[in-house]
Amino acid sequence: MTNVDTETAVTKKAVAKHFLLNASGDVVENETDATGIRYQQLSTGDTFDYQITDAAKTMLAVFGAKTLATNESSQVRNNPKGAGGDAEQMEAIRNRFALLDQGEWVDRTREGGGAVNKDWLAEAIVLVMLEDQRITEEQAAGDAKAKVRQKLEDDAIYLKNSRQHPRVTANYAKLAGRVVKTTDDLMSAIS
């Protein structure tokens, strides 16, 4: 028996184009101006335009929320720079939905998704460094955040490690507007 290892190139072929539509049915670039969508099948040129109705809002929201949670988890789990574990996957979901609650659209023109707001993460790291007296108030008010922000941009390991620091994670959650449970909250649940 011969063992033959061969590489198979997998190519993806686009089958459709997607557009955002405003209330007049015109194509818009900005999601905040959109009230509907256009799906264009490339093979035939056929299009389907859809304006979101009040009746459909909840159904589309629930379907979209379920899909978004799965996509955010998958993005972390299948990241070519290093697969994220269970905690990172759940954090990505929570962070993405926190952005939704603040009305913030994610820039999908760049590689990757909206799992981590690096500005918030840099702020959270600086807060912990200040609490631990690793930097001074002057440094915190100065360029410390900019230095940390650049390190997050340049170093995937630093980014991953910072997201695993419990106090950084807690500060990040506060900055993202999530309710952070205290020890008192945990105690009251068993009292």
- CB-CB neighbours of 164 under 10 Å: 13
Write out the H or E segment, with its range, that includes residue 169: helix 166-175
pLDDT at residue 113 in the model: 47
pLDDT attached to residue 115? 57
- The phi and psi torsions of 49 (rounded to 5 degrees) equal -100, 140
Residue entry with tokens 């959109």: 34
pTM (global) more than 0.85? no
Name the residue ranges covered by the structural domains of the chain: 12-52, 118-175
DSSP 44-108: T--EEEEEPPHHHHHHHHHHHHHHHHHHHHHHHHT-TT----HHHHHHHHHHHHHHHHTTPPP-T
pLDDT (tens digit, 0 to 9) for every residue of the chain, 191 residues total? 455 555 556 567 888 999 999 999 999 998 889 999 999 999 999 999 999 999 999 999 999 999 999 988 888 888 766 667 888 888 888 888 888 887 777 755 544 445 578 898 999 999 999 999 999 999 999 999 999 999 998 888 898 888 888 899 888 888 877 766 778 878 887 87
Q: How far apart are CA 15 and CA 116, in angstroms?
A: 30
Report the pLDDT value the prediction gives residue 150, as an integer from 0 to 100: 94
- Among residues 34, 66, 65, 62, the alpha carbon closest in space to that of 49 is found at 34
Check: CB of residue 152 under 8 Å from CB of residue 105: no
